[in-house]
Amino acid sequence: MADYEQLDTPSVVLRADLQRLFDSLHARGYETIAPRVENGAIIYDEVTSVDALPAGWTDEQEGGFYRLEGRDDGALFGYTVGPQSWKRYLSPPIRRLWQARKNGDGFEIVHEDAPTPHYALIGVRACELHAIHHLDDVYLGGSTIDADYQQRREAAFIVAVNCGKAGNTCFCASLGTGPAVGPGYDLALTELVTEREHAFVVTVGSERGADVLADVPHRPAAPGEFDLAEAIVAEAARHMGRTLETTGLKELLYRSFEHPHWDEVAERCLTCGNCTMVCPTCFCFTVEDTTDLTGQSAERWRRADSCFTTAFTFITSGSQRASAKARYRQWLTHKLATWQDQFGSLGCVGCGRCITWCPVGIDLTAEVAALRAEEIGQPQPEAVLEMA
């Protein structure tokens, strides 16, 4: 049963008792997905033991640069975000939608009937929680919804983590998306590593969060502990490596369609699509229809797609965005401007992944600053009507 008082009163769970959180989630049928180290990066994968978390690791990030480094305090969440985001668990990058089989005089369609995975997402940062809400807008906000996403999303248990460190490519503070986690979590942790203790200040965001916390040894947070937790996050907010000025951003980008700076970016952009793969809000997909060798059985697959390919916009008359310039412009303009008209928010959450994982270090905050520095005049809206 829920202990409603806990909804308001932060608790403290000791590092030594954190395993009980994983155990409780397991006992409730969740697959626990959490950060761990693989191939020199922090990824999100099934983690059943607290000991498998990246204890004593931190990350160094810059444009086109990511390295793990040790830290000597044994912190479990002492890094920012890696190349993956939670979208791979809520909207898998490859998914079969249905199958079709030939029969006597046509074909029949076989619906997918896979059970919904129940994930506990452990270590969701503030920016990432915002990104999940953005995916909700895309897949659940319209008159047609993605039922698979809805089932995964409703089943997911979210353990958010407040950032105690800001990365060099982070800019959530200037977007208001972090580093303190906002609503939408079941439990939120702030890691405290002091000389006296290694513990987590825990706030409860839902009834089921309270139920899970009830299984984990905890005590009410002392005022000093809660203050320290808040101070740590406030300190992270002051050390953002990047800023993005959001005032008038939408209109700036709408005005900048013909800006010469896009040509300059295009000289560097490899159109590799890394930014779209690492972006926690990039939602585009394609569908592929396949048959087996006999031609009797067909399948439709949905795959994550990127607006950086020429095929993305291909119609009979050819690719509608053949140039690299047009494709980068579309991506950036979508994130920062057209997304606002589509969903009422920025499509960027300030996680900095696109900067870190761009092989040539293209930095959207710098590109926006460049557009701002040399504003071009607004073209006349009637231009198209008068050109003969």
Partner 1 sequence: MLATAIHERQPAVARTFATNGCVPYRCRVTERHQENDDTFTVELEPAGARSHAAFAAGQFNMLYVFGLGEIPISISGDPARPDRLVHTTRAVGTVTRAMATLRRGDMIGVRGPFGSSWPLDDLKGKDIVLVGGGIGLAPLRPALYQLVAQRGDYGRVVLLYGARTPEDMLFRAELERWRSRFDLEIFVTVDRATGDWHGNVGLVTALIPRAPFEPQNAVALICGPEVMMRYAVQALHKRGVGPQQTYLSLERNMKCGTAMCGHCQYGPHFVCRDGPVFRMDQVQRFFGKWEV
Would you state the structure tokens that stand for residue 291, as one six-digit string? 């048959």
For partner 1, the closer of residues 146 and 225 by Cβ is: 146
Binds partner 1 (CB under 8 A): choice among 23, 285, 301, 345: 285
Residue 346 CB, nearest distance to partner 1 (Å)? Answer: 13
Q: Rule CB under 8 A: say whether 182 interacts with partner 1.
A: no
* Per-residue contact string for residues 251-280; x = within reach of partner 1 by CB under 8 A: ---x--xx----------------------
Taking CB under 8 A as the criterion, which residues in 288-307 touch partner 1?
289-291, 295, 298, 300, 302, 305, 307
Taking each helix axis from N to C end, the angle separating 324-333 and 364-373, rounded to the nearest 10 degrees, works out to 100
| Alpha carbon of residue 309 to chain centroid | 21
Q: How many residues bind partner 1 (CB under 8 A)?
A: 78
| φ, ψ dihedrals at 271, nearest 5° | 50, 40
Residues of this chain, 27-56, that bind partner 1 according to CB under 8 A: none
Name the minimum Å distance from CB 21 to partner 1: 18
User: Between 65 and 314, whose beta carbon lies closer to partner 1?
Assistant: 314
In this chain, which of 41, 68, 117, 150 binds partner 1, going by CB under 8 A?
Answer: 150
* x-marked contacts with partner 1 along 70-109 as a string, rule CB under 8 A: ---------------------------xx-x-x--xxxxx
Q: Report helix angle 364-373 to 261-268, nearest 10.
A: 150
Q: Is 373 in the site for partner 1 (CB under 8 A)?
A: no
Residue from 272, 55, 67 nearest 168 by CA: 67
Burial category of 117 from C-beta neighbours within 10 Å (exposed 0-12, middle 13-18, buried 19 and up): middle
In whole angstroms, what is the distance from residue 324 CA to residue 166 CA? 31
Residue 212-231 contact track with partner 1, rule CB under 8 A, x = bound: --------------------
Rule CB under 8 A: say whether 65 interacts with partner 1. no
Q: Using the minimum distance from each CB to partner 1, give the nearer residue, 114 or 373.
A: 114
DSSP notation for 155-222: H-EEEEE--SS--TT--HHHHT--SS--S--SEEEEEEE-SS-EEEEEEE-SHHHHHHHHTS--EEPP
Q: Is 143 in the site for partner 1 (CB under 8 A)?
A: yes
Min dist CB 147 to partner 1, Å, is 4
User: Near partner 1 by CB under 8 A, which window of 16-24, 40-48, 136-144, 222-230?
Assistant: 136-144
- The answer to whether 308 and 341 have CB atoms below 8 angstroms apart is no
Tokens standing for residue 343 = 């969903």
Rule CB under 8 A: choose which of 92, 182, 184, 361 binds partner 1: 184
Position among 341, 344, 373, 377 found at the interface with partner 1 (CB under 8 A): 341
Strand (E) or helix (H) holding 290: strand 285-291
The amino acid sitting at 310 is T
Contact partners, residue 56, CB within 8 Å, separation at least 6: 70, 71, 72, 73, 74, 75, 78
